[in-house]
Amino acid sequence: MVPALMAAVSLRAATLPEDRVEAMYHRYDGGGVVVDGPAMAIRRHITNDVSVGAEYYVDSISAASVDVVTSASPYSEQRTETGMTVDWLYGATLMGATYTHSTESDYESNNYGLAVSQDIFGGMTTVTMGYAHGDDTVMRNDTDFEEPIDRDDFRLGLTQVLTPTLLATVDYEAITEEGYLANPYRSARVLGAQVPEQYPGTRTTQALSVAGLKSWDEDTAVSAGYRYFTDTWDVTAQDIELGATRYLGNRWVVDLSYRYYTQNGASFYSDDFDREYNYMARDKELSDFRSHAVGARVSWLFHDSLPFGLSRANVTFAYDYMRFDYDDYTDLRTGDPYEFDTQLLQIYFTTWY
C-alpha cells in the first residue's frame, strides 16, 4: 500500500502556474522492492486568471521486502493515481482546489484540497495556507477486510525575499488521522512468535521546516534545508538537505544534493515484545533508523527551433543513491540488524507552450 502522491495544492507565489507539460519514467530498486512506471501532467490557462491541470501517475510494484518475505508472501500490484487542479488568480491572491484519486487492489484514497497564497509587503513575502481532507479505504486482497481512514491536513507557509540573491521559506504542516492505521498484512513479534499488529486509532503529526536558497554567482545557486517532525506516537525525526545547482554553458544544468535523515521510533514499536501489549508494531518505518541520500541531476535545455510553437523544453536524468541503517530491526533471515541500499532513477521531459 502506497500513499497518495499529489494530495494537496502547493502554492508558493501568487502567480498562476505556467502552461506546461511534464512526463516522467521512474524506477525505484532496492530492499527487495522494485517500483516503476510513467507519470504525466499538463497545465493550461483557460482564461487570463484561471489555470487548470491534470495529472496521471502509475506505480507498478513488485515487493519482496524483508518484512514481506519474513511474515507474508511476495506480491505484485499496480497503483494508479489521477488528479485535477484549478487555480484562480484574483489580484495578489491565488486560490487553488484539487482532487486526487488513488487506487490499488487493497487500498483506495480520495483527497480534496484547498489552498490560498497571498503576496504581501511589496511582493517580498508570500503567505500560503492550505487544507486537505482525505477519505481512504484499507482492504486485504485475501479476505473481505475493509476499514476507513479519515484525514485532515493543515498547512501554513511563508516565503521571504531577504536580499536580491537570497530566499527563505518556513513551512508548518499538521496532519490528523483517524481509523485503521496499521497494515493488515504485517505482524509483530512476541517472544519470537508472530502476532497481528495493533495500532492506536488516531495519529497527529506536526512538521516544521526552514530552508534557504542563495544565488552564489550568476551560474550557481546553493540551498540548505532542515525539518523537525514529531507525532502523538512519540516519533521524532530530523532531516537536513544540502543542494547546489550550476549552469554549464547555456544548454546544461547540473544539480547535486545530499540528504541526511534520522528518527526515533514509536513508543509501541519493538523488534520483539516481551509480552502482549494493547499496541504493538514491528514496522521498520516506525523504528529507530538513519538514512543518507546523494543525488545528481543533469538537464539538457532546449531554447530554440522547437516544433509546434513550443517556447522551451528540457530533458532531465536524475539519479539518487540511498542507504538505510536500522538500529532495532532484525533481519530474521540473518539475525543481524537490517540495512539496505536503494537507487532511484527518473527520466523526465518538460516543455512550456
Site for other proteins in 126-165 (CB under 8 A): 130, 132, 134, 136, 138, 149, 151-153, 155, 157, 159, 161-165
Q: Is residue 321 at the binding interface for other proteins, with CB under 8 A as the rule?
A: no
Nearer to other proteins, 120 or 193 (CB): 120
Nearer to other proteins, 10 or 60 (CB): 10
Q: Is residue 16 at the binding interface for other proteins, with CB under 8 A as the rule?
A: no
Q: Is residue 207 at the binding interface for other proteins, with CB under 8 A as the rule?
A: yes
What number of CA atoms fall less than 13 Å from residue 108's CA on the CB side?
9
Task: Compute the chain's Rg from CA coordinates.
Answer: 22
Q: Tell me which stretch binds other proteins (CB under 8 A): 70-78, 270-278, 314-322, 327-335.
A: 314-322
Nearer to other proteins, 94 or 265 (CB): 265
Q: Is residue 39 at the binding interface for other proteins, with CB under 8 A as the rule?
A: yes
Total number of residues that touch other proteins (CB under 8 A): 97
Per residue in 177-210, is it b (16+ CB within 10 Å) or e — as a string?
bebbbbbbbbbbbbeeeeeebebbeebebebebe
Q: Tell me how far apart the alpha carbons of residues 148 and 233 are, in angstroms, rounded to a whole number.
A: 20
Nearer to other proteins, 163 or 275 (CB): 163
CB 321 within 8 A of CB 296: no
Residues 60-119 that bind other proteins (CB under 8 A): 107, 109, 111, 113
Q: Is residue 181 at the binding interface for other proteins, with CB under 8 A as the rule?
A: yes
Nearer to other proteins, 16 or 293 (CB): 293
Quote the distance between the C-alpha of residue 323 and its chain's center.
17
> Min. distance of Cβ 191 from other proteins in angstroms?
25
Q: Tell me how far apart the alpha carbons of residues 330 and 343 are, in angstroms, rounded to a whole number.
A: 22
DSSP state of 307: G
**CA atoms 282, 283, 284, 287: torsion sign:** negative
DSSP state of 284: G
Answer for which of 272, 285, 325, 331 binds other proteins (CB under 8 A) is 285
